[in-house]
Amino acid sequence: MHIVSRVARKAAALSALVAGIALLPAAAQSTFDVTVQAAACASCHGTDGRSPGSIPSIAGRPEAVLLGQLKAFKSDSPPANTTIMNRLVKGFSDEELTALAQHFSNIPAQAPSAQEGQKK
Ligand code: HEC
């Protein structure tokens, strides 16, 4: 009798623990720092999304355009000439893609110093 009640208590404690663990990641996922995700784009699209090379710049584009492109890459039928973005965006949730589109749309297409340089 004594043993049975101890086992029952242990089981109850264990299930409470499991429930607690299950709640943790859900709470953590709802907030993230978009600059961490955006840093993953800089190696190809340039610092702040201003590309110095042949890869398109993404800074300063309208949020809806960027989000549309990111969702197209993630869809089952990405644009025909896609090389890498289709594979890359699969690692991001829709919530993160929305935050990334917003982040890069808020960055001016040209750095103030670059505009200065062009005037000369
Ligand atoms: C490994 C290099 C690489 C990384 C990292 C990368 N991209 Fe790209 N991105 C490309 C290339 C190349 C293209 C052209 C489409 C293609 O070939 O996949 C592109 C295209 C795009 C486009 C469409 C631009 C246009 O005008 O067609 C957007 C938007 C974009 N990337 C956003 C992002 C975001 C946001 C990240 C970070 C989460 C990111 N990219 C990370 C290489 C990269």
- What percent of the chain has pLDDT above 90? 63
Pocket test for ligand 1, best of 36, 69, 88 (most atoms within 8 A of CB): 88
| Full DSSP string of 25-75 | HHHHHT---HHHHHHHHHHHH-GGG--SSSSPP-TT--HHHHHHHHHHHHS
Q: Is the pLDDT confidence value at 15 over 70?
A: no
The protein residue with its alpha carbon nearest to ligand 1, atom 34, reads: 41
pLDDT in tens, 70-112: 999 999 999 999 999 999 999 999 999 999 999 999 999 988 8
Q: What is the pLDDT of residue 116?
A: 65
Q: Is the pLDDT confidence value at 27 over 50?
A: no
Q: What is the pLDDT of residue 81?
A: 94
Q: How many angstroms is it from 61 CA to the middle of ligand 1? A: 13
CATH 2.40.50.840 describes domain 32-109:
no
